[in-house]
A and B are shown apart, each in its own frame.
Chain A
Amino acid sequence: MHPRLRACRVAALFALAATTAQAQVSIDGPWVRAVVPGQASTGAFMTIRSLKATALVDVSSPVAAAASIHRMTMIDGTMAMTPVAEVPVPAHGAVELKPGALHLMLTGLRQPLVAGAFVPLRLRFRDADRSEWAVTVRAEVRPLTASP
């Protein structure tokens, strides 16, 4: 077999191994809100769909010192942020991370996020059998003034 062809097949096998866990999950429309210079944190949003039951347990990004999962609640006109340990995604279900609800927070931003750019977000999932795996998505930076 041609060496280059063999290399292709090996690469394809690796790709297959990496995607078996991920194939069950699709991340739709990931986006991050742009910031003005000096702003230290921002929100990230997306829809997570899964064929098997899983849970989003961690998030990280090279553009932020830290990232976490938050839930916004509104009680009697007061908005509050609560950290969330994990976001369960039911089998054949979807969870929307959106403004005004569950969302991701990027804190300690290392660079300004300008509308039109893309930011890598690494999402770590834990399946029902306790196995963990991660997927990296490119989230579009939308203007600070983007409406949800």
Chain B
Amino acid sequence: MTRLPGAVALAAPDGVRRALVAALLVAIAGRARAIAPLSGRDVTDLRIKGLLGLRDEHGRVRRLAEFRGKAILLFFGYTGCPDVCPTTLLRMAEVVRELGADAARVQVLWITVDPEHDTQALVGRYVHAFNPGFIGLRGTPAQTQAVAQAFRIHYQVATYKGEALVSHSAFGYLIDGRGRVRVRVDYEAAPDRIASDVRAVLAAS
């Protein structure tokens, strides 16, 4: 004799029934998530309230709101960075290439954590070496601190024997077209995965 699983659930004691319902809900939630799978860490629930108000290489103050409708890939770094920063910007250039026609809907922003050494002009030249469409941003040390804090980014500039020793969060963020910080983009993330996340958040926002 065979019985339908549903019939088992109906006949089962309360505890078992609750467990089955919970399993069903998890399955439904899993399906919902599968519609727009993100490869990076989804940080939407952290409700990170980012802010900019930093200057580009033309001295213009740039704000998050002006990029509405576009996805933003945002990173922090410094031009004296020997590996993490060039590698990150190189990967972002690959993401943009990967996006093809969708590239017009993404903006890469790069913020210096070392404004005492990185001038506005230098930050611009540096990011443009990777892609002329990238925007390099610089603030005063106080502004930089405030922006990093808003984005929950850590950095430190120490001086040792006259040279600057910088540490900073190597991850960045993918922000959707409505200004919501959606994905933490880890340093190790592959460009094609990042590109697919960009498409996913653009489709959803």
Listed in ascending order, the chain A residues whose CB lies under 8 Å from chain B are 33, 35-43, 66, 68, 70, 72, 74, 77-83, 99-100, 103, 105, 107, 144-148
Contact = CB atoms under 8 A, between A and B. Distances in A.
Given A68-B163, A77-B187, A81-B165, A40 B80 contact: yes
B64 interface: no
A122 B189 CA distance: 36
Given A36-B125, A107-B163, A145-B93, A77 B83 contact: no
Contact of A144 (B129, B161, B186): B129
Contact of A74 (B121, B122, B163, B187): B187
B48 to A, nearest CB: 15
Given A38-B121, A99-B87, A145-B86, A66 B169 contact: no
B125 A74 contact: no
A41 B161 contact: no
Nearest to A38: B122
Interface of B: 79-84, 86-87, 89-90, 93, 117, 119, 121-122, 125-126, 129-130, 154, 160-163, 165-171, 186-187
B125 A38 contact: yes
B160 A83 contact: yes
Contact of B82 (A40, A80, A105, A147): A105
A77 B171 CA distance: 6
Contacts, number: 91
- Chain A, interface SS category: strand
A104 to B, nearest CB: 9
B169 A78 contact: yes
5 contacts: A39-B122, A39-B126, A72-B84, A144-B86, A145-B89
Contacts of B154: 78
B69 to A, nearest CB: 29
Contacts of A148: 83, 87
Contacts of A147: 87, 90
A82 B125 contact: no
A66 B162 contact: yes
A39 B126 CA distance: 8
Contacts of A81: 165-167
